[in-house]
């Protein structure tokens, strides 16, 4: 199966319907949902992650050593 994205059923149905008449904006509803999910969930979670904190610490060390 191809990779799937995490969007609600309504948005998925709208996107499927939009694919019947391709336009430059056919993915806009899905894109909006994905951006909102990233802004409200994924990105804030990343900012709290140990990975991000480690990257910030490394950047501070590099800046200090220059």
Domain assignments of the chain as residue spans, ordered by start? 9-65
Is the pLDDT score of 8 beyond 70?
Answer: yes
- 11-58 residue pLDDT tens: 999 999 999 999 999 999 999 999 999 999 999 999 999 999 999 999
Coil, helix or strand at residue 64: helix
Backbone angles phi, psi at 61, to 5 degrees: -65, -40
Q: Give yes or no for a contact between 30 and 8, defined as CB atoms under 8 angstroms apart.
A: no
Q: Report in angstroms the alpha-carbon separations of 44 from 5, 10, 21, 23.
A: 19, 25, 36, 32
Please answer whether residues 14 and 28 qualify as being in contact, where contact means their C-beta atoms are separated by less than 8 angstroms.
no
**Can you give the pLDDT at residue 1?**
67
pLDDT of res. 55: 97
pTM of the model: 0.69
Looking up tokens 């806009």 gives 28
């Amino acid at each position: 199966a191809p990779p799937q994205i995490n969007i609600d059923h309504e948005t998925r149905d709208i996107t499927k319907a939009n694919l019947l008449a391709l336009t430059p904006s056919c993915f806009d509803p899905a894109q909006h949902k994905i951006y909102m999910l990233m802004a409200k969930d994924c990105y804030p979670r990343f900012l709290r992650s140990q990975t991000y904190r480690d990257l910030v610490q490394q950047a501070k060390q590099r800046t200090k050593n220059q």
